[in-house]
Amino acid sequence: MFAVTATSLDADQPLTGLTLGERPDPDVPDGWTTVTVKAAALNHHDLWSLRGIGLPADRLPMILGCDASGVDEDGNEVIVHAVIGDPARGGGDETLDPKRTLLSESHPGTFAEKVAVPRRNLVPKPAGLSFEEAACLPTSWLTAYRMLFEKAGLEPGASVLVQGAGGGVATALIALGSAAGYRVYATSRSESKRKRAVELGAAEAFEPGARLPERVDAVLETVGQATWAHSLKSLRPGGRIVVSGATSGQLPPAELNRVFFLQLSVTGSTMGTRDQLERLARFLVNSGVRPRIDRVLPLTEAREGFAAMAEGDLFGKIVFTL
């Protein structure tokens, strides 16, 4: 089968290890099944894998990709949940399983004609979502859903700041937050991305570090080091930062004096559960919200999509089709 594979790792030039070509069909362990992939979405996770973050050299070659939608062995249209874990080991939450992993870390990923997954990882794809839209959900949109509706602990009408508008998680946060009745502010270095953030539903969009019209109830943080000080300063007393990524670096000054004096909370969030993915899909159908797709490419042109993500030249998701 045709697949997109990591065959070597390079922290500085990750695309040198990207190989497109034929790979063996996936092995199917007991309790697993196969999905014929119709669409698969690109994530920063895939670039990090090529840099050697989370993917050691002894697991190469590895088919990349976490997200997919397709057709199962019985002909049902499905969305693939990317978290491979046991809810029982995580107290009912597979993302808290100490042994949990994502597709493309220990098991071959979704950038292929077929992918093998545990049967419980299949979520029915609503007819109201296209395969391309559904493929955007399992990583970035599910991460945003959990950040907003579980980790932030906010009610409709609350105010939130989304740092770094443009990426998949950030655009999902803006769209979901505005649909749920939050007052959403966003930041971006790009004037065009700030404009598009407002089109997605943000009340206002600002340059990084700008003073906001108000101190917000929560900051939704995926950038990390470059925006951390601004995130802390933008919170009201008692507010919360929910962090699910650190694309600009993981070692910002903690500013603990501000944290304890203003009684701020810092909460981590990673992915979401299979049940949350199913609820997310229903929410999109009921609300009319759809993932912002930057471009759709055939899987045979995956290198173009990886290059665009590496350069930051995107707003929304890059989707590969088969």
d(CA 203, CA 160): 10
Angle, alpha carbons 277-288-161 (nearest 5°): 70
What mean pLDDT do residues 259-286 have? 97
Q: pLDDT averaged over the chain?
A: 96
Please choose, from the candidates 271, 284, 316, the residue with its C-alpha nearest in 3D space to the C-alpha of residue 142: 271
Quick one: what percent of the chain has pLDDT higher than 90? 93
Please choose, from the candidates 145, 71, 68, 135, the residue with its C-alpha nearest in 3D space to the C-alpha of residue 107: 68
Quick one: what percent of the chain has pLDDT higher than 70? 100
d(CA 25, CA 41): 20
* Lowest-confidence pick of 1-15, 71-85, 276-290, 301-315: 301-315
pLDDT at position 315 is 86
Q: What is the 3-state secondary structure (H, E, C) of 18-78?
A: EEEEECCCCCCCCCEEEEEEEEEECCHHHHHHHCCCCCCHHHCCEECCCCEEEEECCCCEE
Q: How confident is the model at residue 248 (pLDDT cuts 50, 70, 90)?
A: confident
R_g (Cα) of the chain, nearest Å: 19
pLDDT at position 247 is 81
> pLDDT (tens digit, 9 = 90+) per residue, 174-201?
999 999 999 999 999 999 999 999 999 9
Q: How confident is the model at residue 249 (pLDDT cuts 50, 70, 90)?
A: confident
Domains and CATH numbers, the chain: 2-136+291-321 (3.90.180.10), 141-268 (3.40.50.720)
Q: What is the dihedral of CA 178, 182, 187, 190, to 10 degrees?
A: 10
The answer to whether residue 60 scores a pLDDT higher than 90 is: yes
Helix 274-287 and helix 168-179: axis angle, to 10°?
Answer: 60
94 to 54, 204, 311: CA distances (angstroms): 18, 36, 33
The answer to whether residue 166 scores a pLDDT higher than 90 is: no
8 A C-beta contact, residue 143 and residue 200: no
8 A C-beta contact, residue 194 and residue 206: yes
Q: What is the DSSP letter of 167?
A: B
